[in-house]
Structure 1
Amino acid sequence: MNWRTNVREFFNLRCFKVAMMRKLSLQVVAALLVISGGAQVALSATADDQEHAEASQANNPGKMPNFWDPATRLLMWIQQNEGLVDCEVGEVNAEGLRGVRARRDMKLHQVAVKLPKVMAITLKEWNVTSEEHALWMLKKKAVNKDWDKIMGPYWASLPPQGTIHTKETYPRDSLDLLQDGSMAAFVRVHQDFTANVLRGGKPHIVKNVKEELERDLSLDEFRYWTAVVSAYAFTFPDEASDDGKQIRIMLPLLDLLNHGNEGEANIGIMRDEDGSYLAYAKRPIKKGEELVHAYNKVCERNDQSLFHYGFIQDLDPPLLSALDTPNGNLYDTAEYTEADYEEGGSLATADEKKRLEELLASFPTTEAEDEKLLSGGGWMDKVLGKSKVEGELERMFVKFRMLRKKALRVTIEKLARILEGDKAEL
């Protein structure tokens, strides 16, 4: 679906803000937020608020015509509620990746999105499990049906269940394609933990999910919402805390921005003084250019970005996977950088070259064989246990291991040139 085309055809959103029916009262929206700080709170609406709420029934997001696609509804919903949208949502590359583009040329510090504070979903402290964050949001949806309905355009903008792929949802029968037993094991650990929480095996998190939510929750749905909060939530300082505590927050539309490494990110995200959230230009941006921001440093290495966020990058020059650097892991920024492999670097040694060569030789397929498999040539029954790669997810797994080997090969070749140069000088 080309959402960008639909946005252009149906509305000029800048004009829409003026022409749309009366806006939904932000005070009433705030009154519907009932879970805060672990306790239920009741906020009263004034008579004027009530009048606005009744008048707004005609333009309730749930009443928007069905022919408006989710992206259009999301943009209109933000505009209705005193937000600012100066961008468009749609496909951003030939592979159909969804993202956000600039609607016009943008100057440095120009605001592309202003999201009202009331539209943000505050979860819990950043360092609790994704399962706890998911249950917090699901409880909020269950307790306040009106709020859940008002947030409908946001829920519709999220990837549907079955289409978001991260460590929480990867199919186990495809994990062997990663060619990394430890990485596959970590995926299984995360998935087993989610299942254990759901069945009550972690009573410090929740004793009985069905009683807590007043409904049955399937494992697939729980894994889905756990993946959503894990991959889509932002981290900000807690406004109510003076001790530097960080909290996780869901931000509609802003979570549709794709990742860009530090040198490529053209968008910054900040919280304004009034509590709203801003996406602003970090440099001049051309009309039609994709808007991207840096999620965090771990996204630069393919094993970490695949594990946590479900994407990989084909960079030039390629970066080693975190697991292939000394003491690297799937959770922390790599201790060593590519500069350590340059001439004079701490890892520009014969021992490190030998370690990387042994690692590259340990994979059951070569870089060339992986590339051939992706192009549709040959059969790999012995290695894959099946006749061919099936679906985009499995293709991404194979491409990941191919790019991993490419990074190893390029680094080994670099070290060989450095070491040969050292010998020549002697």
Structure 2
Amino acid sequence: MDVCWVVESGVIGWRCARNGVVMSSGKKRGKNPSVASGKISPRGFGSRGRSGSELQVPIGDVDRSEACEELFRWLRGAGASLNRVALAEFAGMRGVMALEDIEVGEVVCSVPQEMSLKLCDGGSNPGVAAVSVLDAIRQNSSPFAPALEMLPGMDDARAITDFFSEEELQNLQWPDLVEETNKRKRTLNTVYDRTEKLRSECSWDEFLWASFIVVSRAFTLQQKSGESVRCLVPLMDMFNHSSQSKTELRVRNGSCRVIAGEKLLAGQEVTFGYGGGRLSNKRLIQDYGFVQLNNPNDASIFLGQGRSVTSPYIQQRK
């Protein structure tokens, strides 16, 4: 199974919340929760940690925004198991935090597969799925509105190479990445160019944003019929990447589950490796907009004189 990761557009008025890198406006941020007996309240209550000292793991700032609350209410109403996790901010980046200690092999959280937003056939041009994303956003009464409200914005999308100028691409000094980027843009353009209604309602950049949602956040899930379909699975697209994590995403018996591959402590960010932790920096920057320092899946990377690893558009992750 391929695991992938899904703006507020002033032009045509589509409404989606920004992601946690730029926290949503008007959100009331509480104090970092502390740990008591290996548990954290999502409301932030707690006391001193084990042995009278604070827990020695980074503790996130729990997201108490109305959009987040509505997402969790919506998912729980459909049978999702979310009591052990919360969305939180870690050093300026939104992620998923464990609310209690979780042992190896235990379910961290689960979301019914039926809650996924089906986009297109698994092998289709990502531009086709991008159109489905835009269509869902345009629906005033979309049943997936709580999930759509939590999607990242245009600023995050601009980190992927589809948004790089030709000069910036050449400055990467990464010929195969440049070739793959241009090939994908040509593929996307076949959808954008042939759809007059699409061109009249959204700009090329907005279409690229929707394709970013697809390549960075969509899952390819096998349906009961046996066909593979690209889907957006709420909450599951909010876990950050770590190639060192042993935690896994599994789909079984109609449920998308995150299974702890190592002991997780209350307050700890829960991550798993995108693509099973085997993605090269070429794939990471092309689809997700960041590079991993000392990536074991890479021999070397060259960023030339254009965007460097210190660029605000290229994030470094360990």
Q: TM-score, length-normalised on structure 2? A: 0.69
1:300 is displaced (CA, Å) by 3.6
1:79 is displaced (CA, Å) by 2.6
1:236 and 1:183 map into 2 onto residues whose CA distance is 27
1:173 is displaced (CA, Å) by 4.4
Higher relative contact order (CA 8 A, sep 6+): 2
Structure 1 segment 21-100 matched on structure 2, within 5 A: 68=65, 70-85=67-82, 86-92=84-90, 94=91, 96-100=92-96
2:123 and 2:74 map into 1 onto residues whose CA distance is 31
- DSSP 3-state at the match of 2:290: coil
Tell me: CA distance 1:215–1:68, structure 2 relative to 1, closer, same or farther (3 Å). farther
Candidates 227, 230, 233, aligned match of 2:218? 233
Candidates 157, 171, 182, aligned match of 1:188? 182
- DSSP 3-state at the match of 1:194: helix
Tell me: CA distance 1:214–1:140, structure 2 relative to 1, closer, same or farther (3 Å). farther
Amino acid in the other structure paired with 1:112: V
Amino acid in the other structure paired with 1:271: V
Q: Does 1:267 align with 2:247?
A: yes
What's the % identity of the aligned pairs?
A: 21
Candidates 370, 381, 392, aligned match of 2:312? 392
1:117 is displaced (CA, Å) by 3.3
- DSSP 3-state at the match of 2:104: coil
Q: Does 1:133 align with 2:133?
A: no
Q: Give the match for residue 164 of structure 2.
A: 170
2:251 and 2:257 map into 1 onto residues whose CA distance is 6
Q: Give the match for residue 220 of structure 1.
A: 205
1:8 and 1:227 map into 2 onto residues whose CA distance is 32
Would you say the 8 A contact 2:85–2:96 is kept in 1? yes
Structure 1 segment 4-19 matched on structure 2, within 5 A: 5-6=29-30
Amino acid in the other structure paired with 1:78: L
Q: Give the match for residue 285 of structure 1.
A: 264
1:84 and 1:70 map into 2 onto residues whose CA distance is 18
1:178 is displaced (CA, Å) by 1.6
1:131 is displaced (CA, Å) by 0.6
Amino acid in the other structure paired with 2:153: P
Q: Give the match for residue 230 of structure 2.
A: 248
Would you say the 8 A contact 1:259–1:292 is kept in 2? yes
Amino acid in the other structure paired with 2:174: D
1:68 is displaced (CA, Å) by 2.4
Tell me: CA distance 1:227–1:185, structure 2 relative to 1, closer, same or farther (3 Å). same
Q: When the two structures are aligned, how many residues end up with a matched partner?
A: 267
Structure 1 segment 308-327 matched on structure 2, within 5 A: 308-315=287-294, 318-319=295-296, 321=298
Q: Give the match for residue 19 of structure 1.
A: none
Q: Give the match for residue 414 of structure 1.
A: none
Tell me: CA distance 1:238–1:154, structure 2 relative to 1, closer, same or farther (3 Å). same
Candidates 155, 159, 181, aligned match of 2:152? 159
Q: Give the match for residue 301 of structure 1.
A: 280
Structure 1 segment 351-366 matched on structure 2, within 5 A: none
Amino acid in the other structure paired with 2:258: A
Tell me: CA distance 1:174–1:272, structure 2 relative to 1, closer, same or farther (3 Å). same
More helix by share: 1
1:118 and 1:181 map into 2 onto residues whose CA distance is 41
Amino acid in the other structure paired with 2:289: G
Would you say the 8 A contact 1:257–1:293 is kept in 2? yes
1:390 and 1:112 map into 2 onto residues whose CA distance is 34
Segment drifting more, 102-111 vs 72-81: 72-81
Tell me: CA distance 1:313–1:176, structure 2 relative to 1, closer, same or farther (3 Å). same
Would you say the 8 A contact 1:7–1:88 is kept in 2? no
1:301 is displaced (CA, Å) by 2.2
Tell me: CA distance 1:82–1:302, structure 2 relative to 1, closer, same or farther (3 Å). same
2:113 and 2:187 map into 1 onto residues whose CA distance is 33
1:298 and 1:128 map into 2 onto residues whose CA distance is 24
Deviation track 1:202-227 (CA, whole Å, cap 9, x = no partner) reads xxxxxx351xx696122111111111
Deviation track 1:358-394 (CA, whole Å, cap 9, x = no partner) reads xx9xx797xxxxxxxxxxxxxxxxx55x9x999501x
1:172 is displaced (CA, Å) by 4.1
**Which structure: larger Rg?**
1
Candidates 78, 97, 104, aligned match of 1:101? 97
More strand by share: 2
- DSSP 3-state at the match of 1:162: helix
Deviation track 1:71-102 (CA, whole Å, cap 9, x = no partner) reads 3432333234332212122233x4x2321121
- DSSP 3-state at the match of 2:156: coil
Would you say the 8 A contact 2:218–2:231 is kept in 1? yes
Structure 1 segment 329-340 matched on structure 2, within 5 A: none
Tell me: CA distance 1:209–1:75, structure 2 relative to 1, closer, same or farther (3 Å). farther
- DSSP 3-state at the match of 1:100: strand
